[in-house]
Amino acid sequence: MASRKGNGKSSNDGKGSNDGKGSNVSNKMWGGLFDESPDAIMEEINVSIDVDRHLYAQDITASKAHAAMLAKQGIITAKDAKNIAGGLDTILSEITKGSFTFKRALEDIHMNVESRLGELIGPASGRLHTARSRNDQVATDFRLFVRDTIDEIDAAFASLQRALVDRALEHADTVMPGFTHLQTAQPVTFGHHLLAYVEMVSRDRGRFADARKRLNESPLGAAALAGTSFPIDRHATAKALGFDRPMANSLDAVSDRDFVLETLSAASIAAVHLSRFAEEIVIWTSPLVGLVRLSDKFTTGSSIMPQKRNPDAAELVRAKTGRVIGSLTGLLIVMKGLPLAYQKDMQEDKAGAMEAYSALSLAIRAIAGMVRDLVPNEERMKLAAGEGYATATDLADWLVRTLKMPFREAHHVTGRIVGTATKKGVALHELDLKEMQAVEPKITAEVMKVLSVESSVKSRVSYGGTAPKNVTSQAKAWLKRLEKERKLG
């Protein structure tokens, strides 16, 4: 993608030859030194336009800013800058409309744009590349692309949070089983469970926001690796492109892709969160569990088993996570052994990252759709919440609170009572008081008030607990926060 000496390219649009006919077949962008065109295999491995064509908007935006700065600094004329800007606008329109022809022989988006610009405005187009290299050009374009992508992902996450909060408020007092080790642990509310993911997504958004802050420095003007002797104004181009400042070291500017790695790291963590929720949906929708139901919108059928309703959307979210994590791992391996400055290996920084960002964006929207679509089986949830002696901790807490029993002793007493209930095949609240008193004589009928699942969740009033009033309060606070974010844009 970026500049490199010695990677000759013919102008025959990807049909390379090695016929030794001289400079007439060498690449017009950098081929003055070369007498032969490259082998077809060299052309195929070298070309990047199939991937970096997605940077067209960023490439044109950066080029316009660069041309305007060159004119302001007196490096090119105002007339040339105006013609360049007009030509770039035409190219942007052509690409947007689908009438632009991308040529593989021109390798990348930069050379495709510059070549077309020459066709539109003539020799003045050649002045655009003054005081820059494809090295700082691609680094700038990709930073702009990743920044735009972060903004899009953040908006998708905000939409997911709103969906989760809306459903949490709706089900603030819907009792469901809480699990540890996938075993029934304590009753919680469905709203509380959903708000857990709101918090996770909030941290995901924070990681992306942090990555955005760090990447928001401009490489433009670093040129190939050493800067330039032209009197350019890098602060002006940085400001024009919405960067906070120009990067301080020209070598660093063109040679690192930590901004991609950091964003992919944030994407990987976020994808893991989505995958965990997707896994829960898969479990919950199983007929063996039956806690929720998805409609036809987010399920598929079977070609042979007419009764099947498969949670394929959730399963595919799990699978997309592998793609995201794989992209991070792949780029880490590409970058780990590269000396400064630019190396052609770095051309491989985009395909995986773009695929990962796309996969994450789709997964976010799929999870949001399923959150809005799913229908909890409230009766089944409540029944399951009481299974497995989920209120045993409430009994132990009552012994501590009412009988002033040390917790470890209360834990032991409760275990014996649960054992009695297990042998009789009844729930704790169904066990006869006398049978409890046979274990601990001081237990009174008052204990029955804490053994129902409704009583259990209502008692969890500590900050961050599952009590319905807590869930309602937290959900309303999140709605206000999200609405404020929306208004601030």
In the DSSP assignment, the letter for residue 338 is: P
195 to each of 117, 188, 192, 257, how far by Cα in Å?
A: 52, 12, 5, 35
CA 289, CA 383: separation in Å to the nearest integer? 11
Helix, strand, coil fractions of the chain, as percent rounded to 5: 65, 5, 30
Q: Which two tokens stand for residue 192?
A: 């509380």
Specify whether 181 is catalytic: yes
The answer to whether residues 381 and 291 touch, using CB atoms and an 8 Å cutoff, is: yes
Phi-psi region of 184 (alpha: psi -120 to 50; beta: other; left: phi over 0): beta
Q: Which helix H or strand E contains 378, and what residues bound it?
A: helix 378-386
Q: How far is CA 242 from the centre of its chain?
A: 22
Beta pairing, strands 245-246 & 217-218: parallel
- Terminal CA-CA length for the chain: 35
CA 33, CA 36: separation in Å to the nearest integer? 9
Grouping H, G, I as helix, E, B as strand and the rest as coil, residue 210 is helix
Measured in degrees and rounded to the nearest 5, phi and psi for residue 150 equal: -60, -40
Residue type, 201: V
Among 93, 286, 295, 302, the active-site one is 302
Among 181, 229, 303, 462, the active-site one is 181
Phi-psi region of 67 (alpha: psi -120 to 50; beta: other; left: phi over 0): alpha
- Among 319, 464, 362, 364, residue whose Cα is nearest residue 161: 364
CA 467, CA 186: separation in Å to the nearest integer? 12
Phi-psi region of 324 (alpha: psi -120 to 50; beta: other; left: phi over 0): alpha
In sequence order, what are the beta bridge partners of 245?
A: 217
The answer to whether residues 134 and 2 touch, using CB atoms and an 8 Å cutoff, is: yes
Residue type, 200: M
- Among 273, 304, 298, residue whose Cα is nearest residue 285: 298
The answer to whether residues 39 and 18 touch, using CB atoms and an 8 Å cutoff, is: yes
- Among 257, 256, 258, 223, residue whose Cα is nearest residue 237: 223
Which residues have a catalytic role annotated? Answer: 181, 302
